[in-house]
Structure formats: structure tokens, C-alpha cells
Amino acid sequence: MSELINGILYEKRHDIIINNMSDGIYYYFDYDERSFQVNMDFQHFHSFYEIHILLAKSASHLVEGIPYTIHAGDIVLLRPSLLHKTIYPQGAPSRRLIINFLYPQEYLDSHPAFSRILEPFGQDIPIFRFDQEKTAILSDMLNQVFLLSTRSMPSDILNTMVHAEFTRFLYRLWELRSFNVYVPEKFESPLSEKIYQITSYIHNHYSEELSLESLAEQFYISTYYLSHRFRQVTGYTLIHYIQMTRIRSAQYALINTREKITDISAACGFTSFSQFNRVFRKFCGVSPSDFRRDPVTSSFPTHSA
């Protein structure tokens, strides 16, 4: 039985799947809930676009090492390869709507307008919050997709209609992007802000030479203090975090490009291929070449140091 939660039609474990990722235009709408117990240890990424709409009171989203507090109705936009994770609070499970979608490159090439309406996914702050009127407009469009999925119709007609309705949603989101009122909340302490500045720097400079000493000097902090506080705030040693970030980028390149593995190794900041191969095996349990052949059954770095 469906219900209306913060303007969004919702039914637990209801999903809408249009095609497979390898079959062209792909959509996956997932109406479900998550609890504190399933919070991931580390961030992950996808090769597709993702929209996260929180229906519960509040949660947190970590994107490229930066934490964001989100409230009911906030829209989190995640472009492919963006490292992220949602942190749900303790207590009752949090309801949410997750939308994954992917358009083949040839489709985007022949429909250049999609590059425009996907621009909100490239904003520096990936969270969108609108006033009640604009939120209702966007919610109604998503509710049309939900209602379509409950009707009896041929699958090809359903696929076409969902694509049309969701395209309208993306267009309206693009049209309303300048009305975003989301403002990131302040960090808990100057220490947390400093550490998250460093994690953000790592995500943007992982291809360069990074070390405890160089980062401590750049951010005007002692090596001892950085080493100790970094693990206190993030749960990871600095070196472990740098390696995970580099491996994430290597995984994305292995899946989505045909670049030589040695070139990927260098582009991700590893000083030698033997080092890259050793660290990749440490985190993923397989060699880079084995991962490229079968990424589905391979793991992503989630364990703590």
C-alpha cells in the first residue's frame, strides 16, 4: 500500500527497473529504507548517475570527503565516479528514494540537450533544497513515474513513458537550479574543518605526490597532530585514506576506459606499477587486470586500517 511521505509517493521495497545498464537507457527507482546498522565504512562510487531523496527527518551525506547534513526533501545529485556514502542516524530506519540512471554515450551525442540538463550534477555543492512550492513541483513529477509503474501496460510503453516523465523532471530541476537554498552547515569544530579540507584536497590531488609531511606543511599542522587527528576524525590513517582514494579512481578508469593499466597506475599517483599492483590486490583481492575483466564480483575498499 503506497503512502505520501513529504510529498513523495512511497511504498516500501517498491522498485522500477527499466533495462539493464548494458541495454541502453537505464533506470532504477528504489523505494526503501536504511538504518544506522548498514552505514558503510568507506565511501563508494558508481559508473551511473544517482539521485538520493531523503524522506526521513535527517541524515548525513559524505561526498568526496566533505560531510553534508541533509533534511527531508533534500535532493542529492551524484554524477558518475563521485565518491560518496550516506550516514543514517541511530533509531528508526530512514526512508528514502534512490534513482540510478545511465544514458549511453551515443545517445548523449545525438541528444546534446541532455548535457545541459545534467549540469546540476556538476555543481560544487551536490545538495539541492527548494522552497515548498518548487519541491512540490518536482515531487509531483516523480509521483507520475510511481503511478505509471502501478498501471498495467506493455513494457515498451512503460519504458517510453518513464523516460519521458523523468526527462521532464531533469529539465525542471535544471530550470530551478538557481533557486537552490541549501547552505552547508558549519563544521563541529575547527579541527574537523581542517581535516575535511585535507580530505577534499586528497580527492582533488590524488594523482600528485602526497605524504604526511607535505600535507602537514601545506595545511600548517604538525605531522604528529595531523596523523593522530586525521584518524580520530575519519577513522582511517592518512596513508590508508590516500591509497583508498587512488584505488577508487583506478577502478573507475579500469571499468570505463581502455587505457593501459600502467598508464592508469601513473595517472592515479602510484610511483611504480609494482606498488600499484600490490596496493590494488590489498584492497580489492584481485589484480587490476582481473578486476577489469570481472568488476562485478570484485570488491571495493571498505575496510578500515
What pLDDT does residue 39 have? Answer: 57
Structural domains present in the chain: 3-179 (2.60.120.280), 190-293 (1.10.10.60)
Distance (Å) of CA 289 to CA 136, 269, 272: 47, 18, 16
**18 or 298: which leads in pLDDT:** 18
Number of residues in the chain: 305
User: Please, which residues bridge with residue 94 across strands?
Assistant: 34
**What is the chain's mean pLDDT, rounded?**
89
pLDDT in tens, 280-299: 998 888 999 998 887 655 55
Q: What is the DSSP string of 207-262?
A: TS---HHHHHHHTT--HHHHHHHHHHHHSS-HHHHHHHHHHHHHHHHHHH----HH
- pLDDT tens string 182-230: 998 776 677 778 888 898 899 889 999 999 999 999 999 999 999 998 8
pLDDT average, residue stretch 225-237:
86
Residue 37 pLDDT more than 70?
Answer: no
pTM score, whole prediction: 0.77
Question: What pLDDT sits at residue 42?
Answer: 60
Tens-place pLDDT, residues 72-89 = 999 999 998 787 888 888
- pLDDT higher than 80, residue 5: yes
